[in-house]
Structure 1
């Protein structure tokens, strides 16, 4: 699906841009006076015709073509688990050292002055 953004093609963005611009033009023409005010009917009908043409004559085929499927093979499976085991042992060893050097460090009482 080349040329898609968020799973939708360019046609959806063209239709959204068309209808946003028609809505803006209809709001602007509704403030006009005289015959220009009635031209918003033609703008709306033109947008309706363009929308139906774009919806009834799609460019892409409805049946997707078969693509060659790729099989993903993990060749570094054992090495990844060896690395995970090594990092886990290193983490647990460093946690053990932190426990003895910082958390269980003895706090000695200072001698009192007797003077």
Structure 2
């Protein structure tokens, strides 16, 4: 109960901060004539993703029975698995970018002789 601010937990303030930052980015870049205008909706999607992750993370039960106190759960496998999934996603993105920018670069023919006029 020591982590309460104005009667609510710190998670509410984290969610509010995330959404305020997302709305500021969305409003700031909404009138831009360049491609940076797509950063606004992207920030909203990131805020939704962060909100879902923070809501899904299991919370600690306030009162535990003696039987439940003796059982130890290892939640680190969830975080490790999600970290591996994110790393695998970025490896795939990196490989695709490598293929597009380096491996599939066209090789143009060069003339055998240069004619001087």
TM-score by length of 1: 0.51
Task: Could you list the structure 1 runs, at least 4 aligned residues long, displaced by more than 6 angstroms after superposition.
Answer: none
Count of residues paired in the alignment: 65
2:27 alignment partner, SS class: helix
| Per-residue deviation, 1:35 | 0.9
Partner of 1:24: 24
**1:61 corresponding residue in structure 2:** 60
Report the CA distance between 1:38 and its aligned residue.
1.4
Identify unmatched segments of 5+ residues in structure 2. 66-117
Please give the residue correspondences for 1:43-82 in structure 2 after superposition, counting only pairs within 5 Å: 43-58=43-58, 60-65=59-64
Instruction: Tell me the alpha carbon deviations over residues 9-46 of structure 1, each in whole angstroms, 9 at most, x when there is no partner.
Output: 11000001111111111100102112111121211111
For 2:64 and 2:7, the matched residues in 1 are separated by 17
Measure the CA separation in 2 of the matches of 1:55 and 1:43. Answer: 18
Q: Which has the larger Rg?
A: 1
Structure 1 unaligned blocks of 5 or more: 67-115
1:35 maps to which residue? 35
